[in-house]
Amino acid sequence: MNVDEIIQKFKEKGYEAWVKEKEAGVKIKAKKVSVWVSVDRKKIREAIELMINISEDFPHFSIISASDLGNDVELNYHFTVDYGKNLEEKIVSFKVIIPKKDLRIKSITPLIPSAIFSEREIKEMMGVEIEEIPDGRHMFLTKDFPDGVYPWRRDETSPKETNKLYEEWR
């Protein structure tokens, strides 16, 4: 399936989609293709189901990344499709913007079982409430890390107690 067909199928269902390409290689050139799809947070499961249906093999899940945009939080779900065939792999990323006043999104683990670690990490690092998550414990932070402190945020909830060495040595 080539890139234009993927973009077409997403646009048919009403999602906004665009492509970014980068060239690599010295004598023989190859392109790195990234498809970005903008999704509303209530429709994230449907968008992923659409991607599972249109790709031949089960898509490969990479990671969920997050940014703090001031009043909103932006989540990107990164997948790849068409692996295993020479030079045909494409990155498909779903961009979801969630307002900070109502930080909730549904879990995608019923469709993609390997997303569990990533969702636990987003929950503890960004403070997003993931509904229906099967296992909500801390992933990387210790159990007694203070509540309400989210390391990836850039507002008042970012960690203030950092291990400053040089102050004591003066």
Decide if residue 145 touches other proteins (CB under 8 A): yes
Residue pointed to by tokens 């190859």 = 30
DSSP string, 5-74: HHHHHHHHTT-EEEEEEEEE-SSS-EEEEEEEEEE-GGGHHHHHHHHHHHSSSPPEEEEEEEEE-SSEEE
Q: Which is nearer to other proteins, 35 or 44 (CB)?
A: 35
Q: Which of 12, 24, 53, 101 binds other proteins (CB under 8 A)?
A: 24
Residue range at the interface with other proteins (CB under 8 A); choices 11-19, 47-55, 97-105, 110-118? 110-118
Among 113, 129, 134, 155, binds other proteins (CB under 8 A): 113
* Closer CB to other proteins, 29 or 101, in the complex: 29
Q: Of the listed pieces 5-13, 43-51, 54-62, 101-109, which binds other proteins according to CB under 8 A?
A: 54-62
Q: Name the phi and psi angles at 79, rounded to 5.
A: -130, 165
Binding positions for other proteins, rule: CB under 8 A: 20, 22, 24-30, 32, 34, 57-58, 60-63, 65-68, 76, 78, 80, 82-89, 91, 93, 112-114, 116-117, 138-143, 145, 149, 151-152, 158-159, 161-165
